Structure 1
């Protein structure tokens, strides 16, 4: 079976999920996969070896500024004629199936050509009744129209009584594997096992670093320009797949926006989470609501020294959830012809989740009331 697999490349979470799927799909030689990425300039991608000779299209993305969606800048950067041309010229007829991880070019090309399509990722969970801001019909409509698919494999941190799957999250052992592959000695200690990992790429980075410098804790910050003046307690690091995984595994806690994939990995490691949603971004605001209602993280409207200090004073405890091999199960589902109902696949996977099920189910029930 020939598969065209489109990935929204705006955030690293989509690409992290795609890497896990690439490894899982390799176990089935009968699945021939052509990858396509869109959403950011190709020179901004890194560690793309798993995807071979992948295709690139411009696609669609949202502009942001100082922790909020910039609607005017988003409108200015849209190129609808380019999108239409890319959809019409994509040779989707050469494939048996299109998989879209919220990637619009492949999704709309499949719909236009009548090719079977599967939507895979967190955004497709919003096709169901899950925690989300109320009355925001425009945002819901945009999300559903952005990258439509015939079959949805939505993912979330809780099933919420819906046919959605657990997250695809990199296991802790993968961080150790990345450490070994990087050539680093196994007995080397982390730079600082007391550090707090910070990943807030949508915030105003200069102000963020200045706020962190007021605190006594040690912070490792990804996503900020390396030439920013930083205090002794703030270490700025360039994007690195292996480095980020090591620093995440050894972190005391994590401060991040309310994206999906990083929080899923952090929950697997049992780290306390302080999260701020990207303002005006429907998915992140919905995620923040779910995090608070499921009691999986502390959610704040602003990230500053006062908010971080108050959070740390409470000595937050992390929630540990071990996710199953979702990528492997999806690959088997694809290789077997997608005959198993999605609801049954979801139920089987949630039965494999190792967590305080009573806590998660009680919180999930209250989240929908």
Structure 2
């Protein structure tokens, strides 16, 4: 988008300085300036090594898989088989089911590898394509979250299969809310630009055919796999700023002082968000069924990194803070909000729809809340 011109020095320059300096001074007074800087750098470094490169690895594998599925017609088959299931729920083409599967078994950015695939993209209108971010994020790391939660049954000394299953259903409800809201906003946006039905390929002949590579089956397989992996590398690089900047901020606001005081280690913080959770627990309890205000730390941490959020669960169980109901809600909100603050900006930017990022985040915020509420209701009904 073309940048606008503004006066070289204006009021917002002073406001920006006041906000930045005020924020840094406030945190430094709690943690100590040296500890604050070390924690910021340490957290950013650890996120780069253990989160970003992991996501890049996932994106490479997902990209390779998506190209193979595209080359041999699996995406076209899925589009035809699931259209009448997916479209009534999400108002998206049947091929969108592939985004659900790939993100569920991997992570949010896996949908970007699909989105970069021309054979996948051709099924979407402009206003539908932007909602892929919300659809993919709704199921990110779903398998990992679900498997981890079920494994906590040993600590609670009861089976958590049913609560986790209900949590998955809650995430589905949240995804429906999030995607439909995003489609609504996108449709208005593209209608105002006169690009509502502007597709790269929209004629019936193109939708009924698919492009393939030249060569033998083995050569096509190998070339598709390598090209898809190359796309995944690019996508992995694109998400680095969003993950490091936003996730570091959220984690520092969520995590508290460790036992023994601040040391400047990674993932230390000032613990403001759990305090806020305690203040609004009178709202959280009827909506999500949380029996303790500390439980709010899970969905808030999941906003930045669901991997960090599930790490809270064993300690919560040992302290008696949570039970099966919270596990149900955590599963739903953990999947639906799996690091979306740290990946949504980068994902929308990678899709070249940066101007719709605010709408995407708002829609997904509502979707995550709906996921938690529906999971709580489902637990009350079936458990």
TM-score (ref. length: structure 2): 0.22
Structure of higher CA gyration radius: 2
Higher share of residues assigned strand: 1
Higher share of residues assigned helix: 2
* Larger relative contact order, structure 1 or 2 (CA cutoff 8 Å, min sep 6): 2
